[in-house]
A = this chain, B = another copy of it.
């Protein structure tokens, strides 16, 4: 089966993470702590990288926040991005403090400041993300387009890119996020036809966990499946670790990220020979039991005889449940019958035989 064919873009480097030019699609998030609370912010950075976040952004609204970044820098090797608005001097301070990338919305920084910032970026190998959001497009552009449109977003982003290019920045990543998935999809499609700069995908203000997850998965899924996107961020109101988990799940679903255990379990129906709650419980227990494993592995837990054996056979470890017992499959072959009370243990035993704990 052919995988996603990605569009080729220029490459930029953010500390040890490559963006664009065929590099693996990286997952980003943003700390939600007050950056001036350096201990809390560092703790969140560490939780994010532990969860698989490749690049962490921090808001730098003032000098204290920039100083906090310098302290955090000493305690982590994570790729850190400083989010800068209005005051270019905070960008200079952030670079001094060890930021690996700067995110700006160039429209809100005066051109003279952009020049100084560009010089510091070049001197330090720091790329710039031109980050346009539907909520902060210049009034002039909005009025010329008769309001918020795909064309207004694209023009705003290209104008921003020109501003930082003119100021002397060479390594540029672009984002142009709207709150509407369809508008965001169309804007990224259009800009990807107009530039070979790497693209940072996201939806702005995507909302509460369920609807935000769905909206982000649809938007990023459509773009990524079309080969567009070099780095992604899922925005959710809530714990940023959830943003990383959702982002990774989006990439995995399209074969754009390897690794981790995939648990396939049936939705259960009136045909299920053990209860819904019981099957969901088994799936959750297995999920907890394998949470530390980074090797790619597929586990299927199926509640019936219609699709069960077929799916169980396609997995690395599969269980097809019949009445009170289950048939265990390992890499396509039925290996033994298992009693219901042994289901979880039997699956985890086989998993551990395939991925010994030291390799997990």
**A182 lies within 8 A of chain B by Cβ:** yes
State the interface size on chain A (CB cutoff 8 A): 92
Q: Which of A180-234 contact B (CB under 8 A)?
A: 180-183, 185-186, 204-208, 210-211, 213-215, 217-222, 225
Q: A1-B182, A218-B218 are in contact. Are A32 and B268 (CB under 8 A)?
A: yes
Which residues in B have their C-beta under 8 angstroms from that of A324? none
CA distance A272 to B31 in the complex (A): 11
Q: DSSP class of A's interface residues: helix, strand, loop or mixed?
A: mixed
Tell me the nearest residue of chain B to A315, going by C-beta.
Answer: B179
* Copies of this protein, total: 2
The 8 A CB mask of A60-82 against B (1 = contact, 0 = none) is: 11000100000000000000000
Asked if A245 meets B181 with Cβ closer than 8 Å, knowing A306-B85, A306-B136, the reply is: no
Give Cα distance in the complex from A316 to B71, angstroms: 43
Is the CB–CB distance between A269 and B214 below 8 Å? no
CA distance A148 to B312 in the complex (A): 13
Segment at the interface with B among A94-102, A109-117, A279-287, A343-351: A279-287
Q: Is the CB of A254 within 8 A of B210?
A: no
- How far is A212 from B186 in the complex, measured between Cα atoms in Å? 26
- In angstroms, Cα B133 to Cα A264, docked, is 14
CA distance A29 to B72 in the complex (A): 48
- Decide yes or no: A208 and B265 within 8 Å by CB, A217-B217, A225-B222, A270-B32 being known contacts: yes
For residue A256, which residue of chain B has the nearest CB?
B182
Q: Quick one: given A185-B225, A205-B266, A270-B33, are A246 and B59 in contact (CB under 8 Å)?
A: no
Listed from nearest, the 10 A-B pairs whose CB atoms lie closest are A135-B310, A59-B270, A218-B221, A217-B217, A135-B307, A135-B311, A235-B267, A35-B270, A214-B249, A59-B271
Some 16 contacts from A to B, beta carbons below 8 A apart, are: A1-B183, A32-B268, A58-B270, A59-B271, A61-B270, A134-B314, A136-B306, A205-B300, A207-B265, A210-B245, A211-B249, A211-B263, A213-B213, A222-B222, A237-B279, A240-B267
Residues of A within 8 A of B (CB): 1-4, 30-36, 41, 57-61, 65, 83, 85, 105, 133-137, 148-150, 179-183, 185-186, 204-208, 210-211, 213-215, 217-222, 225, 235-238, 240, 243, 245-246, 249-250, 253-255, 262-272, 276, 279-280, 283-284, 287, 300, 302, 306-311, 314
